[in-house]
Amino acid sequence: MKKFERLRHIRYFTTSLANLPKQYSSADTNRLTLVHFAVQSLDILGVLPDQNVCGDAESEVYLNRDEIIEWIYGLQTVPTLKIQATAEMNIDGSSSRYVGGGFKGSNYLGHCNEGSNSYDHSHLAMTYVALCTLISLGDDLSRINRTAILDTLKGLQKEDGSFVAVSPNNTNGLDVKESDDDCDLRFIYTAICIWYILAEDSPMNSASASMPCIDIEAATNYILSCITFEGSLGLTPGREGHGGSTFCGIASLHIMGVLDAVMESSERRGWKDDLIRWCVMRQYSLPNENENVMNNGFNESDNAAGIQGRPNKLEDTCYSYWIGGTLHLLGASHLLDGWALREYVLKCQSPYGGFGKVVGAMPDLLHSFYSMAWLAISEEGGCCKSEIDDAVEENTAKYECDVLAQVSDSVRQLSRLDCALGVCAKRKVSLKNAVDSLRTDQ
Partner 1 sequence: MIDFQTVFSDITPVPQNEGKEPPVCSIAYAPEFIEAYDYLRALLRKDERSNRALDLTTLCLKLNPANYTVWHYRRMILVELGGGGIDDAAITKDLDFADDLGGTNPKNYQLWYHRRALLEIRFKNATEENGIDAAKKELKYVDRILEDDSKNYHAWSHRQWIIRTMNNSDLWKSEIEYSHTKIKDDPRNNSAWSQRWFATHRGQVASFAGLGTFISCDELRKKGVILSSELADEEAHYALCGAEIDPYNESPWRYLIGVLMEQWRCAQRENNSHEISKAVELITNNISNIKELKHSLKDNPPLKEGAAPCVSLMSALVDLLELFVENEELLKEASNLCKELAEVDTVRRKYWRKRDANVMNII
Residue closer to partner 1 (CB basis): 97 or 367: 367
Task: Please state, as a whole number, how many other Cβ atoms lie within 10 Å of the Cβ of residue 33.
Answer: 21
Shortest distance, CB of residue 365 to partner 1, whole angstroms?
A: 8
Q: Torsion angle of alpha carbons 383, 385, 387, 389, nearest 10°? A: 180
H helices within 360-424, ranges in order?
Answer: 365-377, 385-394, 398-412
Q: Torsion angle of alpha carbons 357, 361, 365, 368, nearest 10°? A: 60
Stretch that binds partner 1, among 85-93, 328-336, 350-358, 410-418 (CB under 8 A): 328-336
Site for partner 1 in 53-92 (CB under 8 A): 64, 67-68, 70-72, 74
Q: Which of 111, 143, 416, 439 binds partner 1 (CB under 8 A)?
A: 111
Instruction: Name residues whose C-beta falls within 8 Å of residue 336's C-beta, 6 or more positions apart in sequence.
Output: 280, 283, 324, 327, 383
Q: Is 8 in the site for partner 1 (CB under 8 A)?
A: no
Stretch that binds partner 1, among 94-102, 170-178, 354-362, 417-425 (CB under 8 A): 170-178
Q: Is 439 in the site for partner 1 (CB under 8 A)?
A: no
Site for partner 1 in 365-394 (CB under 8 A): none
Residue type, 436: D
Q: Report the C-alpha gap between 233 and 249 in whole angstroms.
A: 7
Q: Which of 99, 148, 213, 226 binds partner 1 (CB under 8 A)?
A: 226
Residues 321 and 370 sit within 8 Å (Cβ to Cβ): yes
Shortest distance, CB of residue 370 to partner 1, whole angstroms?
A: 17
Residue closer to partner 1 (CB basis): 35 or 414: 35
Residue closer to partner 1 (CB basis): 241 or 356: 241
Q: Report the C-alpha gap between 36 and 20 in whole angstroms.
A: 14
Q: Report the C-alpha gap between 251 and 196 in whole angstroms.
A: 12
Q: Is 143 in the site for partner 1 (CB under 8 A)?
A: no
Q: Is 19 in the site for partner 1 (CB under 8 A)?
A: yes
Stretch that binds partner 1, among 18-26, 79-87, 92-100, 405-413 (CB under 8 A): 18-26
Show the binding pattern over residues 254-293: x = contacts partner 1 (CB under 8 A), - = does not. Answer: ------------xxxxxx--x--x--xx-xxxx-------
Shortest distance, CB of residue 33 to partner 1, whole angstroms?
A: 9
Q: Torsion angle of alpha carbons 142, 164, 91, 202, nearest 10°? A: -70
Q: Report the C-alpha gap between 373 and 207 in whole angstroms.
A: 31
Q: Which of 50, 59, 208, 238 binds partner 1 (CB under 8 A)?
A: 238
H helices within 45-111, ranges in order?
Answer: 65-73
Q: Is 311 in the site for partner 1 (CB under 8 A)?
A: yes
Give the angle 30-194-129 at the CA atoms, nearest 5°: 25
Q: What are phi and psi of 233, to 5 degrees?
A: -120, 135
Residue closer to partner 1 (CB basis): 6 or 310: 310
Q: Is 31 in the site for partner 1 (CB under 8 A)?
A: yes
Q: Is 117 in the site for partner 1 (CB under 8 A)?
A: yes
Q: Is 428 in the site for partner 1 (CB under 8 A)?
A: no
Q: Report the C-alpha gap between 167 and 374 in whole angstroms.
A: 32
Q: Is 214 in the site for partner 1 (CB under 8 A)?
A: no
Q: Which of 26, 86, 210, 290 binds partner 1 (CB under 8 A)?
A: 26
Q: Is 228 in the site for partner 1 (CB under 8 A)?
A: yes
Residue closer to partner 1 (CB basis): 165 or 199: 165
Residue closer to partner 1 (CB basis): 21 or 93: 21
Instruction: Name residues whose C-beta falls within 8 Å of residue 171's C-beta, 6 or more positions apart in sequence.
Output: none
Shortest distance, CB of residue 188 to partner 1, whole angstroms?
A: 14
Of 261, 189, 177, 194, the residue nearest 219 (C-alpha): 189
